[in-house]
A and B are shown apart, each in its own frame.
Chain A
Amino acid sequence: MDIGNIKKHSDLNFEVAQAKRNALEKLRSRQLLAYNERLFMADANTINLVSTLKQHSKDFYVLDVNDNPCHVNDPDDFLIKLIERNQETLNAYQQLHQDLAKKRK
C-alpha cells in the first residue's frame, strides 16, 4: 500500500471513529430520563440496580445522576421506562454501527 492509500485509510478510520463517538454521545444524551422529578441515565447500571432492588422490596430509594435520593414506589413502571428508553437508544445506535461496519469494508 503506497503512502497515498495509507493516508486515505487513516482518514477513513478517523471518520468512522468520530462518527462512533458522536453516536455514543447522542445515545447517552437520549438516555437521560426524568422520573419523580429526578434525573437518571437509562443505562445498564441503572437497569441492573432497579431490577435487583425490585426483587427485595416493593419500594426503595436510589440516587439520581446528581446524587439526590429518589423514592421508587412503583419499580415495575420505572423499570419498564428504563428498558424502553435504553432499547430505543441502542436500536438507533445499532443501525449506525451497521452502516459504519459497511463503510469500513
Chain B
Amino acid sequence: MTIGVLMYCFDTPDINYHRLAERCVAQIRKYLKLEITIVTDLETFKKFRPMGMINYKLVEAKTTNTRPYRGKSIAWYNKERALAYEHSPYDTTILMDCDYFVFSSTLLELANTEFDMMLHDRVHDLTGHNMISGEDESTLPLVWATVTLFKKTTNTEAIFSMIKHVQEYYTHYRNLYRIRYPNYRNDYAFAIALHQLNLGNRIPTPMTMLADRVDVVDSDEDGIVFKHGDAVNFTSGQDVHVMDKEWCNG
C-alpha cells in the first residue's frame, strides 16, 4: 500500500503559488515524511527551486476561472483537481492545497484508517472573528476540499467521475443548490458529488484557517505568526490553511 501527497500548483498573473508549494513541501517533509507529487504547468515548473525528490506531472491548466481576493477579481486555475483520481500514483492520497501547511502528524493518523474519501466539513478561524463560516451560502452541506484524503476504490472513482460531471454542468448544479458564488469552487463540486452519491467521511475536527484579510508576518518550522488589525497571535504545532497568498514572497 503506497501513501503520498498530491498537490496542484499553477502560478497565475497575480499569485506565485510555487512559493507557497515550496514551503508546503518543506513542512510535509518534516512532519509527514511522505512522497510528494506536484501537478503543475511548464511555466510554473521552471520557477520551482530544486527540492530533491518530487514527482512532477506537467499538464496544461484550464484558465477560465476567477476568484475574489482582497477586493480584486483574480485568475484561479483550480479545475484540474477533478482529475486527482487519475493523477495520483498512490493507493492512499492526501490531496492538499499548496496553501495548507502541516505542523503536526495528524494527517498520518487519518490516513491510517479505513475510508473512501475524507475531508473537513467545519472550520476554526484562529482570529476568533469567524470570517470563513461558509453558512447560508448554499442549500448544500458544505465540505472543504482543501485537504482531501482518498483511497483508490470504486466509490472514490464514482465520486471523481461525479465531480467531473458537476464541473461540466456547474451552472445547473449551482442553480440547483442555490450556491451564492458564480465562480467554480472545488469545495462545492466535491460537496455536490458527495451529496449526490451519499458517500464520504468527515474529518472529526475542524480545519484551522486564517482568512485572506489576515497577514502572516513570520513563521518557522513549528508555526506561524499572524496579524489581524492590531492583534498579533501565533500558532504552534497546529496544521493551518492560510488564505494570505503573498506571505511566502519574502
Interface pick from A11-19, A50-58, A72-80: A11-19
Which one of B113, B115, B126, B205 contacts A22 once the chains associate, using CB atoms below 8 Å? B126
- The reply to whether B114 and A26 contact each other, CB–CB distance below 8 Å, is no
What are the residues of chain B within 8 A of A15 when measuring CB–CB?
A: 231, 233
Whole-angstrom distance between the alpha carbons of A28 and B238 in the complex?
Answer: 11
Asked if A37 and B113 make an inter-chain contact with CB atoms under 8 angstroms apart, the answer reads yes
Q: In the bound complex, do residue A39 and residue B110 qualify as a contact, i.e. CB atoms below 8 Å apart?
A: yes
Which residues of A have CB within 8 Å of B68? none
Nearest CB of B to A101, in Å: 18
Give Cα A45–Cα B36 distance, bound, in whole angstroms. 37
Known contacts A15-B233, A18-B127; is-contact A25 B208 (Cβ 8 Å)? yes
Contact in complex: B109, A22 (CB < 8 Å): no
> Given the known A-B contacts A32-B109, A38-B114, A39-B110, are A19 and B206 also in contact in the complex, defined by CB atoms under 8 Å?
no
Of B126, B204, B231, B239, which one neighbours A39 at CB under 8 angstroms? B204
Given contacts A18-B126, A37-B113, 15 further A-B contacts (CB under 8 A): A14-B128, A21-B124, A21-B128, A26-B208, A28-B205, A29-B208, A29-B239, A32-B109, A38-B113, A38-B114, A39-B110, A39-B204, A41-B204, A64-B113, A92-B237
A32 / chain B contacts, CB cutoff of 8 Å = 106, 109-110, 204-205
Decide if B112 is an interface residue (CB 8 Å cutoff). Answer: yes
A15 and chain B: residue at smallest CB distance: B231
**From residue 223 to 242 of chain B, which have CB atoms closer than 8 A to chain A?**
231, 233, 235, 237-239
> Is A25's CB under 8 angstroms from B205's CB?
yes
Q: Is the CB of A33 within 8 A of B109?
A: yes
| B104 within 8 A of partner (CB) | yes
A30 adjacent to B106 (CB under 8 Å) = yes
Report, as a range, how many residues of chain A touch the other chain. Answer: 20 to 34
Contact of A29 among B104, B112, B115, B233 (CB under 8 A): B104
User: How far is B237's CA from A41's CA once the two chains are assembled, in angstroms?
Assistant: 18
Contacts across chains A and B counted by CB atoms under 8 Å: 65
**B127 — nearest CB in chain A belongs to which residue?**
A18
Mark interface residues in B57-71 (1 if CB within 8 Å of A CB, else 0): 000000000000000
Residues on A with beta carbons closer than 8 Å to the beta carbon of B156: none
B208: A residues at CB distance < 8 A: 22, 25-26, 29
Q: Which of B112, B126, B204, B235 contacts A65 (CB 8 A)?
A: B204
> In this assembly, does A98 line the interface, its C-beta being within 8 Å of a C-beta of chain B?
no
- Residue of A whose beta carbon sits closest to that of B114: A37
Q: Is A34 an interface residue (CB 8 A)?
A: yes
In the complex, A5 has a CB within 8 A of chain B = no
Question: In the complex, what's the smallest C-beta–C-beta distance from A8 to chain B, in angstroms?
Answer: 11
- Chain B 15-31 interface mask (CB, 8 Å, partner A; 1/0): 00000000000000000
